[in-house]
């Protein structure tokens, strides 16, 4: 059996006119994923090289929701884009050595682009459903391949720029850029295929985005979360998974606030007697789901004042949970100083559910959910 050749593909739909139009939106979606992804990566760094703002408090909720939504929309866009250029996979390499080198480089850059693009969508969508069928670290690898994908995409756009310009400035049915073999007509038109792609992207978004857009909850039949949970708020890591079922409800529980040699030890009752602040703040998870809730508790700033910590210094927040990369996290100075950064004791007026971090949890504006540490037992400022 001989391998297929580009001239065996005769559909008029497999045209640069289609590829450039779908590719434009795919490029925009990947650009959005990249920017929001880098933002999320920086927000999760223990010691970010720039101070991220604490306001607006919903900002991370929006960027991370956009990240996952743009990724989901990219699935149909990428599939149709790849379908429209599939014949080029079977292009024979040129004979001349010089052409061969450029041809090889371009093919290699496209191979890297396709591999990275598929990898990002597959790992990202699996991660949003907390499915990890691989051994590598999701966060480090998804971040690194994100740079590879955007780099390969920029190279691809640069190489194809004249074709893209010509395709986008002429009518979609213009045959100027078509391969000579493209003769088959009838059935779906190019305009029809492009519109179908938009509908597919729209449906994929509607069917999943309810995990972060409350108005879509009823429509999003394929959303990772319905938005329900203990006290009406979903949970990412349960008390059982964190191994705190006993320590969190123990009468020996103490919150220690330390600054150099100075430290105070507080019981839950001590915390409840301090001045309380109530704030509406979202929990916005890196997996893309989010939910807003009303939290009541003690300002972190007020706790730091007990040990005379200077304003604007970073604080190490430690959880009762014994393992996991987020057992201890660093709250940057500007977040520690913010009036809305609370050590929350209550959710919607009720004591926190144990799965939401009883007896007390961190809740700060504009922070990734994994850094909103639950079951907090220690706040420490290095002297």
Identify residues 264-323 at the interface with other proteins (CB under 8 A): none
State yes or no: residue 128 binds other proteins (CB under 8 A). Answer: yes
Long-range contacts of 247-255 (CB under 8 A, 24+ apart): 247/320, 247/375, 248/320, 248/354, 248/358, 248/359, 248/375, 249/354, 249/358, 249/359, 253/359, 253/377, 254/377, 255/303, 255/343, 255/360, 255/376, 255/377, 255/378, 255/379
State yes or no: residue 33 binds other proteins (CB under 8 A). Answer: no
> Which of residues 196, 265, 294, 382 is near other proteins by CB under 8 A?
196
Task: List, as one string, the DSSP characters of 29-44.
Answer: HHHHHHHHHHHHHHHH
Residues between 327 and 366 that touch other proteins (CB under 8 A): 355
State yes or no: residue 188 binds other proteins (CB under 8 A). Answer: yes
Pairing of strands 255-259, 376-381: parallel
Pairing of strands 361-363, 376-381: unpaired
Report how far residue 339's alpha carbon sits from residue 172's, in angstroms, rounded to the nearest whole number. 55
x-or-dash pattern for other proteins, window 147-166, by CB under 8 A? xxxxxxxxxxxxxxxxx-xx
Report how far residue 136's alpha carbon sits from residue 280's, in angstroms, rounded to the nearest whole number. 36
Binding segment for other proteins (CB under 8 A), chosen from 25-33, 221-229, 253-261, 312-320, is 221-229
State yes or no: residue 107 binds other proteins (CB under 8 A). Answer: no
Binding segment for other proteins (CB under 8 A), chosen from 108-116, 294-302, 311-319, 338-346, is 108-116
Yes or no: say if 16 and 162 are a contact pair by the CB < 8 Å rule.
Answer: no
**# of chain residues touching other proteins (CB under 8 A):** 97
Binding segment for other proteins (CB under 8 A), chosen from 199-207, 297-305, 325-333, 373-381, is 199-207
Closer CB to other proteins, residue 148 or residue 302?
148
Nearest-approach distance from CB 336 to other proteins, in angstroms: 29
State yes or no: residue 136 binds other proteins (CB under 8 A). Answer: yes
State yes or no: residue 200 binds other proteins (CB under 8 A). Answer: yes
SS3 string, 98-112, reads HHHHHHHHHHHHHHH
Among residues 256, 252, 254, which one has the least CA distance to residue 380? 256
Closer CB to other proteins, residue 227 or residue 332?
227
x-or-dash pattern for other proteins, window 10-29, by CB under 8 A? ------x-------------
Report how far residue 210's alpha carbon sits from residue 259's, in angstroms, rounded to the nearest whole number. 43
> Which of residues 35, 52, 62, 82 is near other proteins by CB under 8 A?
82
> Which of residues 17, 112, 298, 370 is near other proteins by CB under 8 A?
112
Closer CB to other proteins, residue 145 or residue 336?
145
> Which of residues 47, 49, 92, 135 is near other proteins by CB under 8 A?
135
Nearest-approach distance from CB 222 to other proteins, in angstroms: 5
Question: Which backbone phi and psi does 212 adopt, to 5 degrees?
Answer: -125, -20
193 CB-near residues (< 8 Å, 6+ apart)? 13, 18, 80
SS3 string, 149-172, reads HHHHHHHHHHHHHHHHHHHHHCCC
Residues between 226 and 265 that touch other proteins (CB under 8 A): 226, 228-230, 234-238, 240-241
Nearest-approach distance from CB 155 to other proteins, in angstroms: 4
Yes or no: say if 37 and 143 are a contact pair by the CB < 8 Å rule.
Answer: yes
State yes or no: residue 48 binds other proteins (CB under 8 A). Answer: no
State yes or no: residue 49 binds other proteins (CB under 8 A). Answer: no
Residues between 164 and 183 that touch other proteins (CB under 8 A): 165-166, 169-170, 176-180
State yes or no: residue 83 binds other proteins (CB under 8 A). Answer: yes
**b or e along 244-276 (b: 16 or more beta carbons within 10 Å of the residue's beta carbon)?**
beebbeeeebebebbbeeeeeebebeebbebeb
């Amino acid at each position: 059996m001989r391998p297929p050749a580009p001239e065996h593909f005769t559909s008029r739909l497999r045209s640069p006119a289609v590829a450039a139009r779908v590719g434009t939106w795919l490029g925009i979606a990947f650009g959005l994923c990249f920017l929001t992804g880098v933002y999320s990566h920086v927000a999760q760094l223990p010691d970010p090289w720039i101070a991220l703002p604490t306001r607006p408090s919903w900002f991370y909720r929006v960027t991370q929701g956009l990240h996952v939504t743009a990724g989901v929309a990219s699935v149909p866009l990428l599939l149709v884009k790849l379908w429209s250029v599939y014949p080029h996979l079977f292009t024979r390499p040129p004979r001349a050595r010089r052409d061969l080198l450029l041809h090889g480089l371009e093919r290699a850059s496209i191979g890297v682009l396709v591999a990275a693009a598929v990898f990002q969508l597959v790992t990202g969508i699996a991660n949003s459903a907390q499915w990890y069928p691989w051994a590598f670290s999701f966060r480090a690898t998804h971040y690194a391949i994100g740079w590879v994908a955007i780099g390969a995409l920029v190279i691809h756009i640069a190489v194809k720029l004249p074709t893209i310009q010509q395709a986008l400035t002429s009518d979609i049915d213009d045959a100027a850029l078509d391969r000579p073999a493209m003769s088959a007509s009838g059935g779906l038109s190019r305009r029809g295929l492009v519109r179908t792609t938009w509908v597919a992207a729209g449906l994929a978004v509607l069917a999943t985005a309810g995990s972060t857009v409350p108005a879509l909850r009823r429509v999003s039949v394929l959303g990772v979360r319905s938005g329900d949970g203990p006290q009406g708020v979903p949970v990412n890591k349960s008390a059982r998974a964190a191994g705190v079922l006993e320590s969190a409800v123990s009468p020996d529980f103490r919150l220690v606030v330390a600054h150099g040699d100075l430290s105070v030890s507080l019981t839950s009752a001590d915390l409840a007697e301090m001045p309380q602040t109530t704030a509406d703040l979202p929990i916005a998870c890196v997996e893309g789901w989010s939910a807003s809730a009303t939290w009541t508790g003690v300002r972190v700033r007020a706790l730091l004042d007990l040990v005379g910590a200077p304003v604007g210094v970073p604080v190490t927040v430690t959880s009762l949970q014994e393992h996991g990369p987020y057992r201890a996290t660093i709250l940057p100075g500007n977040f520690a100083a913010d009036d809305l950064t609370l050590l929350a004791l209550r959710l919607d007026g009720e004591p926190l559910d144990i799965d939401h971090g009883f007896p007390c949890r961190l809740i700060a504006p504009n922070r990734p959910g994994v850094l909103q540490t639950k079951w907090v037992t220690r706040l420490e400022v290095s002297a």
